[in-house]
Structure 1
Amino acid sequence: MSHDFVDNLELSVRASNALRRYEINSIEKFLALTKPDIMGFKHAGAKTWHEIREVQVNIQRERRLETTPGLVVTHMRALNDLQAEMRAAGFFMILDHNQRLRLGRYVNRDDFQPEGA
């Protein structure tokens, strides 16, 4: 049985001990736990269930962010956060004829001034 898995979950001693006692030693087993499972564990109750459920939800959220749609959302948010700064620097984003996102830059008077002038 791997104690490292349970230790990495950042659960209370009571919840960690319950998981070890019932040999919940993999992420798959942990995510499959239900409220009736936990309520059937010796020395575990509603508080333990809520604690475990919170960690399950966080793990599932992290896993979704690692999928392609999750990565797309993360990158789109980053681009949206950069838009004001990009606009101030003279850049813009546009979709090309193949529906690919392209970065462009507005031409300004400084582009035509010789360096050092």
Structure 2
Amino acid sequence: MTADQVAPEGPVTAGSIADAVRAVPGVAFLRPGLSALLRASARTAPARTDRTAPGVRLGHGAAGRVVSAEVEVVLHRGHRAVDVTRAVRAAVRGAARPGDTGTTAMPVTVTVTGIV
């Protein structure tokens, strides 16, 4: 999220973080986990809610605030993985804590699972 964008209203969700990650140049898509793939193949998948998103796992603190995030992405060929993962990490932190200028950084793990 850049300084000229308005912070989203309401609680932070995996869906809002997934949207921020998808907007990063070089990200092809988020990689769904095995459980999401199995649900999709069974055709009994529940409707997607904002609390879950394929490829995004959030850790919550006692007050419900997002305290950590794990993101799995597939990159577009021709982009340096180190640059894209840094941008993804910044996008996740910006989406999880809009307007937070604290010095403590939220742990964000970004895993590149493929290149297309």
- Is TM-score (shorter-chain normalized) higher than 0.5? no
**TM-score for the superposition, normalised by structure 2:** 0.23
Higher helix share: 1
**TM-score for the superposition, normalised by structure 1:** 0.23
Higher relative contact order (CA 8 A, sep 6+): 2
Bigger Rg, structure 1 or 2: 1
